[in-house]
Structure 1
Amino acid sequence: MGAVAPGGTVAACKWVSVVLGERATVSGAILLNCYSCGKTIAVLNAAAITEMRTAAMSALAMSFLARPESRSVGFVGVGAQAAAHLLHIQSALPGLTEIVCVGRSTDSARRFAEFATKSGVRARPADGPEEAIGCDIIVSTVPHDTSKPPFLDADLVRPGATVCAVDLGRPWIGSTMDRFDAVYTDDLSQAATPENAVKMRYQGPYLGDLSDLASGHLPGRTGNERILFQFPGFALGDAILSDLVFRNARAHKIGQRVRF
């Protein structure tokens, strides 16, 4: 993923490696370059930045797309992205009171529930994904595994509920995706590129993106719709956040200087 920050101050490129299997891992680095001279000015660990950027974008989307009176969130997948999304969505919707979660194992779901409880909500492991899908907001962060077929059924999403498909929608059953009344993404132009579109379960069209919502061009939720927010990742968000991290690190003399 690559992007140039507004004003042409920095350019960023994120290199990501994905290892599939039972212990799926995602790791990467962000190269931050001076836009005017092209020199690399920083190399940053992509994990924390990606977690923050992704969860912040989702929380922004939920502030427009979720019902204001939403009280419950169902998490399908309980890894690092789920933890980041819990904290950010809580900041956008402080009225949340209940967390239901399901992971690869009962132990991982239990640990996530314990983590969620510390944030001041009731939390418990779900009996299965169907129970999580029955919540007001559903956040799916299932690691990609080509050996397992899609298992999340959009037929079970209640009217008025909002799905945040952090995992590109891959665990959702394709034949049920037309149950959603409205689908939004982070950036329309980026989601429409062939390399991004082919990765995502829902292939479009999209009603709008975050800029449409934040600018007021589109109102977001207007009634009892079933809404899906599915997105490939906003490269510009990585660039801006990386620049902010770099500037703060330099101001506080954090990090290690390396000569190229």
Structure 2
Amino acid sequence: MSRRLSDLQGQVALITGGAGGLGSETANWLAAAGAQVVIADVSTEGLERAAAGCADAVPDAKPVETLVLDVTNSAAVRAAVVGIEDRHGRLDILVTSHGFPRDHRLTELTDVEWSDVINVCLTGTFFCIREAARLMTAQGYGRIVTLASRAWQGNPGQANYSAAKAGVVGLTKSVAKELGRKGVTANAIAPGLIETASLRNLETFEAIADRAVKANSIKRLGEPSDIAAAVLYLTSPEAGFLTGEVVHVSGGRFS
């Protein structure tokens, strides 16, 4: 074997939602594999923390670039990808890790809560994939990984989030079928309950965690590294014959 597995030397990766727990951990893993990583988010402070965290975790990696980006602004997304092309000449990897829930029972769900979640989680993902695909198909290579959720199969109190994530799954599968002949793969990861700082800060964390662990086959919460490891494989050259899949990283909990 002439190369080590998951060697991303010379590749450029864009991670949206890169200031979050999953996005920042994924940035660490891709940077450790040799990629030039660009993390994008709406939070300047969060981006600074994530970049500093990556520098501490992977001191020998290329410095992570940061980009303030609203994924619901199609012109801004296009400018971001054009900027990456101008600086690096290519974009090999896109990981869409942005998104948030706004939970309410169906009859209490407001128009704004519906549209905000759909716009960020689904429409924002479409904008990012569309712009990345222009560059990836031209160069004849690309890896697209979307972060869906176990909720794509439906969750009570999450009609908006479940609909958005189900849309992300359908979008990913369509992209996989359309772009495979161009050397571009597209796969979705559906995390279960992952222990991040934002989850731990919830007042209901203990109850949510207890319920999840009881439902899981693997009796623990997920960790950001569980997701990052799956992303690393799906973005590697070795994953070139795998596309259109939904990988449940959920401890064995599927519904």
Q: TM-score, normalised by structure 2?
A: 0.35
Q: Which has the higher helix share?
A: 2
Could you state the TM-score of these two structures normalised by the residue count of structure 1? 0.34
Write 1 or 2 for the structure with the bigger share of strand.
1
Q: For the pair shown, which has the larger CA radius of gyration, 1 or 2?
A: 1
